[in-house]
Amino acid sequence: MKVNSVAKNIGIPSRKVKLIVDMVRGKKVDRALDILKFVPTPAAKAVSKVIKSAAANAENNFEMTPADLVITDIFANEGQTIKRFRPQSRGRISPMLRRSTHITVFVSEEEHTRGS
């Protein structure tokens, strides 16, 4: 069974979050959190919060074992874009786009095979 968690409108552009998301896709939750602990970006902190939330949902709502959880699916989609304008020389203006991201994480229990 897949359990999910979503964080919407995180104030970091999705192209920066996707770099972090690709590092932890398919890994166990404990291992992914250890990796993200040593990545010095705000995106890593946001992704780790969503992973912790998904693990807590699995543990509390569906009684899954936290040690067996694996990140089956994780993606960062583009959120709302706030448009602002910045003054330039000669009386002109240029647009400034403040982009945001929706982060979605799916976790499930790891399949145990016989003999291992």
The band of 115, judged by pLDDT with boundaries at 50, 70 and 90, is low
Catalogue all structural domains in the chain, each as residue range(s) with its CATH number: 3-109 (3.90.470.10)
| pLDDT one-digit tens code per residue, 14-39 | 999 999 999 999 999 999 999 999 99
Tell the burial category of 5 from Cβ atoms under 10 Å away from its Cβ (0-12, 13-18, 19+).
Answer: buried
Among 37, 31, 36, 30, which Cα is nearest to 59's? 30
| pLDDT one-digit tens code per residue, 99-113 | 999 999 999 998 765
| pLDDT one-digit tens code per residue, 55-93 | 999 999 999 999 999 999 999 999 999 999 999 999 999
Instruction: Annotate the chain with DSSP letters as a single string.
Output: --EEEEEEEESS-HHHHHHHHHHHTTSBHHHHHHHHHT--SHHHHHHHHHHHHHHHHHHHHH---GGGEEEEEEEEEEEEEEEEEEE-GGG-EEEEEEEEEEEEEEEEEPPPPTT-
Q: Is the pLDDT of residue 9 over 90?
A: yes
pLDDT confidence of residue 110: 85
